[in-house]
């Protein structure tokens, strides 16, 4: 993008077209994950077993770490063998995965 001669914006990259969508998606993810954590804690408190919340949140964290590891391995393998444009086809449980 050539910005020479264009008037400088005080907001810089924040004034770009797609930034509002990016901000909205990030906010939606933050709200969803926050509500899940609050819901798990409330569920455990209602069940009379507050320690259950720690176990449930731990299982959720381990699952996220497992998925992140699979994602990183698949992306790295696809990047080195086929190039970065083919990476999404190699992710586990991906809608783009070739069967």
Q: Is the pLDDT of residue 66 over 70?
A: yes
Q: Residue 97: pLDDT above 60?
A: no
Kindly give the residue spans of alpha helices, DSSP state H, lying in 7-96: 19-46, 51-81
Q: How confident is the model at residue 87 (pLDDT cuts 50, 70, 90)?
A: low
Residue 91's nearest CA partner among 77, 83, 80 is 77
Q: Give yes or no for a contact between 75 and 90, defined as CB atoms under 8 angstroms apart.
A: yes
Residue 18 pLDDT greater than 80, yes or no:
yes
**Every domain of the chain and the residues it spans:** 17-90
User: Does the pTM exceed 0.85?
Assistant: no
Cα 46 to Cα 38: distance, rounded to the nearest angstrom? 12
- Region of residue 12 (left: phi > 0; alpha: psi -120 to 50; beta: else): left
Confirm if 87 and 74 have CB atoms less than 8 A apart.
yes
């Amino acid at each position: 993008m050539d910005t020479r001669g264009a008037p400088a914006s005080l907001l810089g990259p924040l004034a770009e077209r797609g930034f509002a969508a990016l901000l909205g998606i990030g906010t939606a993810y933050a709200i969803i994950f926050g509500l899940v954590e609050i819901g798990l804690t409330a569920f455990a408190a209602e069940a009379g077993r507050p320690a259950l919340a720690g176990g449930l949140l731990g299982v959720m964290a381990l699952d996220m770490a497992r998925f992140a590891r699979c994602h990183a391995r698949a992306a790295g393998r696809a990047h080195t063998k086929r190039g970065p444009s083919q990476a999404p086809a190699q992710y586990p449980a991906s809608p783009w995965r070739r069967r």
